[in-house]
Structure 1
């Protein structure tokens, strides 16, 4: 039986593992984090009926997903910098096209569906040697017949098939968090509503999203150098200094919107936006392939996790139904490459679009998720 190793326990890697196990195929997932609760998994995302939900159906988890998902999270408000509502979309009560779910909830759903011991935590990959020999930071060496790079933007598997590296887009997000928002931050909760709210003025923007449990995350979007904090004499834990700089940058915005910058609980989290070259392909390697952000990192415009999960489902099915691993990889890449290229071209330069004075329509995406383990 083929030895299959997946690197990365994000939604893509776990979806692939789940479908392989459902098809009676052994698989091991390796992840560098010490355990599933090692860090916060990020904000909410939507799963669309035509990609992410297709993958969950193949994984046999669609009903469980709908029990956790928030259809009301599809609500979208677009504001100007004065806080006036320019556009407001409210989903129908039975709308299931792209309901929201917290990333952590989705990951737990997938993890709990796997056979015990499938994920080996604390196994950070150092390199891939000759396609099928995996070297881990623990000193462990594992040989396999296929390694699947599902390890995100800065994949350690990618160099085995491609010299491409992610390039900084020129746009950075700062994440601000608000707990128990309806009680402790009612003004912000009212602005955001049940779903998301966005505003931009051409040079800077705000994007807020409702999460489960009364939490709200706000992403402060700026066109800045990747090292802007250091250039400003700041560090990421200098909350007061960052807040003062942001207030100066957003001085012409309404006081109500500026509360999304000043009233956050705890420190900011920095998330610079990177993307891979367009298109990103590689020469066929029968022992290595990539999925999700490792294969086609794009700006966060609503395609990342959905495409990662669709990639995962198609690869797993190809492995189960092909005569050999090599044939499966060829079949998978023959459909993944053109689909990814089309989406990469559609989202190229999209980080700038997030700052558009026309107020971009964030309402059709997974929102602003981490670019780490999709």
Structure 2
């Protein structure tokens, strides 16, 4: 038997949670369907800088801005930029005026989760497909064979969205950059050399069309993204179940780099591969009754503009506000939301693609030094 859900959000990431929270604030109660088994199913991890013009705007709409300030990582806006030989070209302290406070993704997710009524999230519901039923209604099928019908289907289900095919044939493509992510736990005690080179906030080392990006986490660990300009299949040639072998394979691409930088891989406690994908810049779709997308489902991009999480939250808030502003007229709400969504996401996706080309080009270090020293105010480039 199929249950009917008037407003169904597929995906319980930051964007979907923000949409649900802002809808709740306006007296509309959606249901979120999330594939993870529970809120504690996996570590969320990663630091985010939350921008005034989008992420913070969404938190104001959600009525959570003051609570957000309580979980900000003090000192997290510090930034260091190094070359392969360990030379420090830029070092900025966090004086609290940067306008982009850092927060742990897991803490932010917990804040949003705690703001929703019990039962809003239906855990362990993996979507396998969705189809139109006509007149703006849709049916969603789950891995356990159950289904729901809905009057408004919101795809907040990430880069490989199961909802996206209802509105678009576009699929994310490999950007040419792969990450190998590492963690160094209890860094000040167990990895003091690495802790010293990273500093108190965000860190970049660039050169030779590759790089290392890192953050100091609120739990005292270091989270590191080693970035390689490499063929899409290269990660498949590395045995990541054998950490020593995987580290050696990665470090072979950083021969001659300062040992403090190599140590961010060599001394790591975990190692995980990840390819970076993106939808085409300017991805958009014709209005399809009863369904829309937000966040990575709508505009997944490389992380080098620092906008992914911020845009997802703003998308969620703006969509919810549009729905609240057009009671009884879903199509007017979705049309208004998408009219603002498309140019906003196109601009950020273009910035992201340009930043990728800059950072991992032959003059990447020199161009980024110029950006931070004579260009716009320092901005994060890895969320």
1:208-247 C-alpha deviation (Å, 9 max, x unpaired) = 11111101111111011222133x3x32212111111222
Gaps of 5+ in 2: 373-377
Give the RMSD, CA atoms, in angstroms: 1.7
1:170-222 C-alpha deviation (Å, 9 max, x unpaired) = 11000000111111111111111110111111321111111111011111110
Match of 1:103 in 2: 105
1:211 matched to 2:217? The reply is yes
| SS of residue matched to 2:175 | strand
Q: Contact between 1:146 and 1:325, CA under 8 Å: does it hold in 2? A: yes
1:16-46 C-alpha deviation (Å, 9 max, x unpaired) = 0001001100100001111111112131111
Q: Contact between 1:167 and 1:274, CA under 8 Å: does it hold in 2? A: yes
Measure the CA separation in 2 of the matches of 1:322 and 1:2: 19
1:62 matched to 2:65? The reply is yes
1:320 matched to 2:335? The reply is no
Match of 2:348 in 1: 343
Measure the CA separation in 2 of the matches of 1:135 and 1:215: 40
Measure the CA separation in 2 of the matches of 1:252 and 1:203: 14
Measure the CA separation in 1 of the matches of 2:290 and 2:358: 38
Measure the CA separation in 2 of the matches of 1:338 and 1:256: 42
Measure the CA separation in 2 of the matches of 1:133 and 1:358: 47
Q: How many residues align?
A: 364
Match of 1:372 in 2: none
1:256 matched to 2:260? The reply is yes
Indicate the structure whose relative CO is greater, using CA pairs within 8 Å and at least 6 residues apart: 1
1:43 matched to 2:36? The reply is no
Q: TM-score, normalised by structure 1?
A: 0.94
Measure the CA separation in 2 of the matches of 1:318 and 1:219: 37
- Residue range with higher mean Cα deviation, 179-188 or 358-367: 358-367
1:350, distance to aligned residue in structure 2 (A): 3.8
1:299-357 C-alpha deviation (Å, 9 max, x unpaired) = 10201010111111110001011141111001100111111112222222543433244
Match of 2:176 in 1: 170
1:367 matched to 2:372? The reply is no
Measure the CA separation in 2 of the matches of 1:14 and 1:133: 21
Cα gap change, 1:366/1:99 in structure 2, threshold over 3 Å: closer, same or farther?
farther
Q: Contact between 2:46 and 2:223, CA under 8 Å: does it hold in 1? A: yes
Q: Contact between 1:278 and 1:344, CA under 8 Å: does it hold in 2? A: yes
| SS of residue matched to 1:190 | helix
Measure the CA separation in 2 of the matches of 1:141 and 1:2: 10
1:112-137 C-alpha deviation (Å, 9 max, x unpaired) = 11000100001011111105111111
Find 2:273's aligned residue among 261, 270, 273. Answer: 270
Q: Contact between 1:15 and 1:55, CA under 8 Å: does it hold in 2? A: yes
Measure the CA separation in 1 of the matches of 2:98 and 2:105: 17
Match of 1:140 in 2: 146
1:86 matched to 2:92? The reply is no
- Residue range with higher mean Cα deviation, 127-136 or 14-23: 127-136
Q: TM-score, normalised by structure 2?
A: 0.91
Q: Contact between 2:202 and 2:380, CA under 8 Å: does it hold in 1? A: no
